[in-house]
Amino acid sequence: MLKKERADYVLKRLEELYPETPVPLDHRNEFTLLVAVLLSAQCTDARVNLVTPALFDLAESAEAMLRLTVEDIDAIVRPCGLAPRKAKAIRGLSEILVEKHGGRVPEDFEALEALPGVGHKTASVVMAQAFGVPAFPVDTHIHRLAQRWKLTDGKSVVKTEMDLKKLFPRESWNKLHLQIIFYGREYCSARGCDGMVCEICRTLFPDRKNPVITRK
């Protein structure tokens, strides 16, 4: 099976498995989505969703977040890990949003990536899920599965993103990145599949004899 044929199969099968792709992180608006995505770094979405209601009840806008101290934010988000750094970033980005963007989350990659604690992946998630702009955020699930399916060589998440964007239609990116995440969590996790167990891996590579060692 050629790479394009593998990509076509993945796209078709994931659409069958996950016709609906609800955003995994609970949020109330663009600002709370941005904060939730920032908190999800090295933390599960489930844990973030347990923590954010208390934070968003106090501050669901940049202006309201500025009424809290870094220590206030830290105390709430501590279960998410890396709390001091994340709390400082949340308050810092809130200040910039108020001063430079009228309190609104900018619909712009460059402006988003200039915010504290916001890298390209976080910006991509916000652009895709808040504004519907085609993007292909690559998390650990996507990076790992793309290697198992030989859609990329996995040299870096940047390369993986570029390779996937070339293989899949632009209009599919926003939904597909969630579908791959959902599939990775359910069927092709780091411990649950080594490239030889789950349905898609077995379908794409029925003759594979050795486990796939993926790059992080």
Give the tens place of pLDDT for each residue, 105-156. Answer: 999 999 999 999 999 999 999 999 999 999 999 998 899 999 999 999 989 9
120 and 145 co-located in one domain: no
Q: What is the pLDDT of residue 190?
A: 86
Residues with Cβ within 8 Å of 140's Cβ and at least 6 positions away in sequence, in order, are 216
Domain boundary among 131, 162, 192: 131
Counting every residue written for the chain, the total comes to: 216
Q: What is the spatial distance between Cα 195 and Cα 138, in angstroms, rounded to a whole number?
A: 19
Residues in Cβ contact with 16 at an 8 Å cutoff, skipping those fewer than 6 apart: none
User: Which CATH number belongs to the domain containing residue 161 in this structure?
Assistant: 1.10.1670.10
Catalytic-residue membership of 139: yes
Q: Which of 74, 86, 121, 163 is catalytic?
A: 121
- Which residue of the set 8, 45, 108, 139 is catalytic? 139
C-alpha distances in Å from residue 34, one per residue of 51, 117, 120, 196: 14, 10, 12, 36
Within a domain: 211: no
Identify whether 156 is part of a domain.
yes
CA-wise closest residue to 214 among 136, 145, 157, 139:
145
pLDDT in the model for residue 52: 98
Assess contact for 91 and 64: CB atoms under 8 A.
no
Q: Which domain holds residue 191?
A: 3-20+137-204
- What is the pLDDT of the chain when averaged over all its residues? 96
Please say if the pLDDT value at position 208 is more than 80: yes
Q: Does residue 216 register a pLDDT over 80?
A: no
Residue 118 located in a structural domain? yes
Segment 66-89, tens digit of pLDDT: 999 999 999 999 999 999 999 999
Q: What is the pLDDT of residue 188?
A: 96
Please tell me the least confidently modeled range out of 16-20, 159-163, 168-172, 188-192: 188-192
Predicted confidence band at 96 (pLDDT cuts at 50, 70, 90)? very high
Is 121 among the catalytic positions?
A: yes
Residue 25 resides in a domain: no
Q: Please give the biggest Cα pair distance in the chain.
A: 60
Condensed to tens digits (0 to 9), the pLDDT of residues 162-178 reads: 999 999 999 999 999 99
Could you give the number of structural domains in the chain? Answer: 2
